Amino acid sequence: MKPLALAIALWLALGFAGPALAVQPDEVLADPVLEERARDISAGLRCPVCRSENIDESDAPISRDLRLLVRERLVAGDTDAEAVAFIVARYGEYVLLNPTTRGSNLLLWLAAPIMLCFAAGVGLGYVRSRAHAAAQAEDATTQALSEEEQARLRDILKD
């Protein structure tokens, strides 16, 4: 196969390789506007089983239930925020891929920077105490040796 033909075939193959969505044809709404809203909402909701996938990408039965619930709420006339609030009220904030920074989640958002500062402080204190202990040990060693012993030690350390 010629390089140009191979490049075109590769480009076409990659062009059609989009995200694999698990949305079944029987789940798709007839109204394209509502379907687009449902897809936007679903992109922000986490699969409780898969953890790192949104519900549109997951094949888990719970994700299917959540997709149907989102579409049901939109058909009932809920706004996007109301549909998300309904699902969060039912399943908890864990289903949000981007959790809020209020309430108990604030502790989770701040825990990493606080722990980093704490670890840096402990590390700095340890390094400083080791340097101070080494300096004290050197002073104690040099004070305990006579001038003759210190000169001999310097000679030994030079070799």
Q: How many domains does the chain have?
A: 2
CB 31 within 8 A of CB 17: no
Instruction: Tell whether 61 is covered by a domain.
Output: yes
Closest C-alpha to 48, from 93, 89, 104, 111? 93
Whether residue 43 sits in one domain with residue 90: yes
Distance between CA atoms of residues 87 and 38, nearest Å? 13
Q: What is the largest CA-CA distance in the chain?
A: 98
Q: Which domain holds residue 114?
A: 105-158
End-of-domain residue from the set 74, 95, 116 = 95
Distance between CA atoms of residues 36 and 123, nearest Å? 51
Instruction: Tell whether 1 is covered by a domain.
Output: no
Whether residue 62 sits in one domain with residue 29: yes
Whether residue 82 sits in one domain with residue 28: yes
End-of-domain residue from the set 73, 95, 117 = 95
Q: What confidence tens digit (pLDDT) does each residue in 61-82 have?
A: 888 888 889 988 988 888 989 9
Predicted confidence at residue 12, as pLDDT, reads 64
Whether residue 82 sits in one domain with residue 124: no
SS3 string, 35-77, reads HHHHHHHHHCEECCCCCCCECCCCCCHHHHHHHHHHHHHHHCC
Whether residue 70 sits in one domain with residue 133: no
Closest C-alpha to 46, from 75, 66, 23, 22? 66
Whether residue 146 sits in one domain with residue 91: no
Whether residue 114 sits in one domain with residue 132: yes
Predicted confidence at residue 23, as pLDDT, reads 66
Distance between CA atoms of residues 64 and 61, nearest Å? 5
Instruction: Tell whether 100 is covered by a domain.
Output: no
Buried residues in 17-41 as b, exposed as e (16+ CB within 10 A):
eeeeebbeeeeebeeeeebebbbeb
Q: What confidence tens digit (pLDDT) does each residue in 109-144 have?
A: 788 899 999 999 999 999 988 888 877 777 766 677
